[in-house]
Amino acid sequence: MRENIKNSILLFVFWLIMLSTIQIQAQTHLSDDEFDSLRKLQLKMPDDTSRLEILEKICRKSSNLDTIEKYALIQLNLAKYVNNKSYIGSSTDLVGWCKLQKYKYFEAAKYYRLSMEIFKSIGDKKNYANSMAGLGEVMFKTRNFEKGLLLELEALKIYESQNDTTMITSIYRRLGRSCIEHKLNKDAKEYLYKALEIDLKTNNLRNIGRDYYFLGQSYNDKIHNRTIEQIKIPNEYFKKTVICSMETEDNMYLIFASFVLTLQYNELAAKTNNWKYQDTANYYTKICKQTIEDIGFEEYKIHLAVLRAEQMILSGFSSEALKILKEYEKNPKLIGTQFQMLYRAYELYYFYNKDYKGILELIDKEEHIKRYLYIRELGVKLEIMSSLTDYEIYLTQLEKQEKNRNLILSEKMKQHKLLKEIFTCIGGLIGVVIIAMLISVNHNNKHNKILTAQSAKIIETNKELSTLNAEVKKQAEELIAQTKQIKKQRNKLASINFRIVLNMDLAEKMQRSISIPTDKLKKMFGNLFVMWRPLDAVSGDFYWASQIGDLKMIAVADCTGHGVPGACLSVLGIAMLNSIIARVNPETITAAEILNTLRTRISESLTRGETEDGDMHDGMDIALCIINRKTRRVSYSGAYRPVWVLNHGEITEWKPDRMPIAVDTDHNDDFTNHEFQIKPDDRIYLFTDGLTDQFGMKSPGKLSKFMGKRLRMLLQEICDDEAETQKIKIEKTMESWADKQQQTDDMLIIGLLDL
């Protein structure tokens, strides 16, 4: 009994200290009076530079995103007026940050690129790196992980050269957060522990709190997959975040951490029926609500609806909570993170009501909604099919027709209105004329005849106007009907578009599922890299590998075309290679024998059911190597695709036969088998023609392909680097070469570096 009283007193004292901290924090905010004083002060400044400094202080001191963005834009316009490039860059970067926090990723990317250009022009490396890191985060948010990683690593080099520990740890946190979003929790923890180690040494309390928050997220799995002990691990990190954020007034992370803690304690209450957990959840809800009110940022208030629904679920009011969640789901402006919160609450509802079927349906629904959000938020239409498909062309034409018809309708309505006004005026004029005629009829018979003739003309004109008015109305009705039909067709095309995107996403997953993962390739061949960049969602390029005893086999192939047709052939090629290998004699097999058999199988498959004579040129180009692990001899054969062997910059090319794996009566000879011995430090490269055929700007106004010569020089330069470094350098080189040119074809290159 005494022990319970003691624990209750300790808990009360802890809460009292925490609440006091909140009050102190609230008092240290920039008050309304201080803000108003600064706002008036900047207007009274005697020179523009002083105004820029005050505006900078307003932006840095304010905790309201809308206020920060507003005054950053004011500062940007003033900086442009006085041509102060330093302030132009800093205010542009700050607007980009605000757009990022509001999930407006395209606008954020635009502002970050502008600030990078400005900082680069004035030689400000640190701020250039800041903007580059911000752009990297935008890339992470828009699922362009590889480009985001390159940007973050470039920024990290600059920070390391300047020994800027604060920004170094910021990069590590970004990388960790991105890994969490891509379900790479192990990698995320490595980055975050690096950041925490540096921040603890420098005693950067603000960053320490953020490190703890993301470490908590790296352990924070879904509720139907974890035990109570697994909940408590991230729970400790989030509580540390709350303490650090209170001390440093890091309001956003105070909201994030208290929000997640509320969800966790609600979950603990549901799993244990211990209502002390719900009391603690209510406590963190108050912190979350109070901080949101202090910031005044409306978009965060939507978090509270989810918390209220969860508390109602735990209090036994499940039906009322479900109504709140359904109403919340109807909001058309919900973005990705808010959908995650919504489904987190649905999970609790189904779990608490033991509706496990509902949980499974929710998981399936969540996958579909992720794709929908990707299309809606990032503006993805049919880019994975082509840059401009027939659907988009037709849709564009319909929109143009609709605009033209609206303009015509507007013009006709103006004419109709004008005609009515003319008709009214003429009617009044007729009345005046008739009265005048009656008055003067006895005075002037000649004038009477003239007026009679004019009256007849007016009546005739009036009839013509009435006819024209009826035609205008008819045309207006036809235009309205056509507009409705156009909108109906546009909606139908949008629906078709959405279904195609979903199907292509599934096709991409299926194709990648039959390709051997990189980690398995590394177990088979040791140190290597794979750079595979499809032109569309699915690819005509593919790689294949297998092992029989001491024989390790690897192939890189380029099927006819790209996209869906090429992907179909790639699936056929992988299946046939697996079938062929299952029936070979390991002691006598050669690469040429495999290609001869593959050509026969492909020919039989592609000509099955054909009734007309003639070649069918669909097929594939391929390079295939069989490596004997014991003897270190390689058997190579190729159909239009060579193999390059590099040793400290010296290159040896094994040339292929100039005939494809296809139905081709002009080329029926057997493939040539080449054999060579692997020497120490040999590196073997297999690749498709997507790299060498990529167009780029050779010189101003002159386009050229990348060509094999440039690829040779690149590999000779980087062949002694680490595998991941080689991959990154090839990617950066291809991006730099292509610049604004679109990707020409699927790209695939594999480097075997540890033979």
Is the pLDDT assigned to residue 538 strictly greater than 60?
yes
Cβ burial of 31 (10 Å; 0-12, 13-18, 19+) is exposed
pLDDT digits (tens, 9 = 90+) for 184-242: 778 888 888 988 999 898 899 989 988 998 888 888 755 455 677 777 788 888 899 99
Q: In the listed set 203, 229, 254, which residue is the last one of a domain according to the structure?
A: 203
Q: DSSP code of 657?
A: B
Is the pLDDT assigned to residue 81 strictly greater than 80?
yes
Specify whether 544 is located in the same domain as 647: yes
Q: DSSP code of 670?
A: P
Using CA atoms, how far residue 608 sits from 565, 601, 604, 663, in Å, is 17, 11, 6, 11
CB 698 within 8 A of CB 704: yes
Q: Is residue 185 part of a domain?
A: yes
Specify whether 686 is located in the same domain as 567: yes
Give the integer Cα–Cα distance in Å for 230 and 460: 91
Q: DSSP code of 381?
A: S
Q: Is residue 152 part of a domain?
A: no
* Other Cβ atoms closer than 10 A to 79: 25
One-letter amino acid at 52 equals: L
Q: So what's the pLDDT on residue 395?
A: 44
Specify whether 592 is located in the same domain as 628: yes
240 Cα distance to chain centroid: 31
25 CB-side CA count, 13 A? 23
Q: Is residue 624 part of a domain?
A: yes
Is the pLDDT assigned to residue 22 strictly greater than 80?
no
Specify whether 631 is located in the same domain as 739: yes
Q: So what's the pLDDT on residue 586?
A: 87
Q: So what's the pLDDT on residue 234?
A: 85
Is the pLDDT assigned to residue 134 strictly greater than 60?
yes
Helix residue spans in 203-298 (DSSP H):
205-219, 228-248, 251-272, 276-295
Query: What does the pLDDT average to over 96-122?
Result: 88
Q: In the listed set 145, 174, 203, which residue is the last one of a domain according to the structure?
A: 203
Q: Is residue 543 part of a domain?
A: yes
CATH number of the structural domain spanning residue 595: 3.60.40.10
Q: Is residue 63 part of a domain?
A: no
Specify whether 453 is located in the same domain as 600: no
Specify whether 403 is located in the same domain as 441: yes
**Tokens 């009044």 belong to which residue?**
428
Q: So what's the pLDDT on residue 146?
A: 78
Specify whether 536 is located in the same domain as 655: yes
Specify whether 582 is located in the same domain as 646: yes
Is the pLDDT assigned to residue 373 strictly greater than 90?
no
Q: So what's the pLDDT on residue 283?
A: 86
Specify whether 464 is located in the same domain as 540: no
Query: What does the pLDDT average to over 258-276?
Result: 78
pLDDT digits (tens, 9 = 90+) for 449-464: 666 666 677 777 767 6
Please report which confidence band the pLDDT of residue 368 belongs to, taking 50, 70 and 90 as the band edges: low
The set of residues, in sequence order, having a beta carbon less than 8 Å from that of 37 and lying 6+ positions away, is none
Q: DSSP code of 540?
A: S
Range of the domain at 197: 164-203
Specify whether 675 is located in the same domain as 726: yes
Q: Is residue 404 part of a domain?
A: yes
Rg of the chain in Å (alpha carbons): 35
Give the integer Cα–Cα distance in Å for 644 and 640: 13
Closest to 531 (Cα-Cα) out of 706, 715, 727, 691? 727
Q: In the listed set 203, 226, 253, which residue is the last one of a domain according to the structure?
A: 203
- What would the DSSP string read from start to end of 337-395? HHHHHHHHHHHHHHHHTT-HHHHHHHHHHHHHHHHHHHHHHHT-SSTTT-SS-HHHHHH
pLDDT digits (tens, 9 = 90+) for 688-722: 999 999 999 877 778 899 999 999 999 999 999 99
Phi-psi region of 643 (alpha: psi -120 to 50; beta: other; left: phi over 0): beta
What percentage of the chain has pLDDT greater than the value 70? 68
Q: Is residue 464 part of a domain?
A: yes
Lowest mean pLDDT among 15-24, 75-84, 699-708: 15-24
pLDDT digits (tens, 9 = 90+) for 61-71: 776 777 888 88
Is the pLDDT assigned to residue 16 strictly greater than 50?
no
For the chain, the residue count is 755
Q: What is the mean pLDDT of the chain?
A: 76
Specify whether 709 is located in the same domain as 600: yes
Number of domains in the chain: 3
Specify whether 530 is located in the same domain as 483: no
Q: Is residue 133 part of a domain?
A: no
